[in-house]
Amino acid sequence: MAIVVVGGSGRDVGKTALVCGLIAALPEFAWTAVKITSHLHGLAEPIWEETTPGNGTDTSRYLAAGAHRALLTTAPQEDSSPERDFPRLINDLRARLGSGANILFESNRILDYLLPDLCLIVRFRAEHAAPVKPSFSLAARHAHAMVERAESDRMLTEGPKPVFQLVNLERLSPEMMAWLTRKLGPAPRP
C-alpha cells in the first residue's frame, strides 16, 4: 500500500490538478483519491463516494483521470461533533478502504494524523501574493518535494527538496516521473 499526500499553500493553487496528474501518470497504482475538506458540502455523511467521472467536482475529476475510487471527506476545523472528529474520520476511511488500497490524499491537515510514503506540496510562485493556508507550514515540513506552475517544465534544487516547475500540473514532466518512480518504486500489490 502506498500513501501519498498532496497539500498546498492556498486555494486554487492546483492541488486537484496535481492529484489528477499523479493518477493519470501512475495508473498501475489503481489509486483511491480522497479529498479532505473543512467546507460543508451539504452531505448527510462525513464520507461520500463519487461514482460519476467528469469535470463538475474535484472527486469527479479524480475518476475522469483514472482513479479506481474517489471520496470526499468533510472534517470542519471547529466542529466537535463525534461524527466529524478528524481521527475518527481517518479510522472510518481506513476501514472503508481496506489495508491494500493505494491512497492519494488531497489535504494539508491529514499530516497531523498520518505519515505518508510521499508528500508533495503545490505552492504559488513567489511573485503571486495570495493568502497562505495556516496548515501550509505543516505540509511544508513534511514535504518531499514542491510543485509550482511555470512557463516551462524543469526541476530545481531548493535545499534537500526538489522543486518541480510544470506548465500543466496534470501532465508530469519526465524528470518528475523519474523522481516519483525512484521514491515510490513499483505499484504495491494488494
Profile the chain (190 residues) by mean pLDDT over runs of 10 residues: 91 92 97 85 74 92 97 70 67 85 92 92 71 78 93 89 96 96 82
d(CA 84, CA 74): 7
Q: Which structural domain, as residue segments, surrounds residue 152? A: 3-184
d(CA 72, CA 168): 24
Query: Quick one: three-class SS letters along 3-56?
Result: EEEEEECCCCCCHHHHHHHHHHHCHHHCCEEEEEECCCCCCCCCEEEECCCCCC
pTM reported for the whole predicted model? 0.89
Q: Does some domain include residue 189?
A: no
What integer pLDDT is reported at residue 159 of this predicted model?
Answer: 79
Q: Does some domain include residue 190?
A: no
What integer pLDDT is reported at residue 82 of this predicted model?
Answer: 47
Our count of domains for the chain comes to 1
Q: Does some domain include residue 57?
A: yes
What integer pLDDT is reported at residue 56 of this predicted model?
Answer: 86
Give me the phi and psi of 46, to 5 degrees please. -75, -15
CA 61 to chain centre: 13
* Side-chain-facing half-sphere of 3: CA atoms under 13 Å: 15
- In the block, which residue shows the cell 476511511? 93
d(CA 145, CA 121): 7
Q: Does some domain include residue 173?
A: yes
d(CA 97, CA 92): 9
The domain that holds 173 is classified in CATH as 3.40.50
What integer pLDDT is reported at residue 140 of this predicted model?
Answer: 85
Q: Does some domain include residue 180?
A: yes
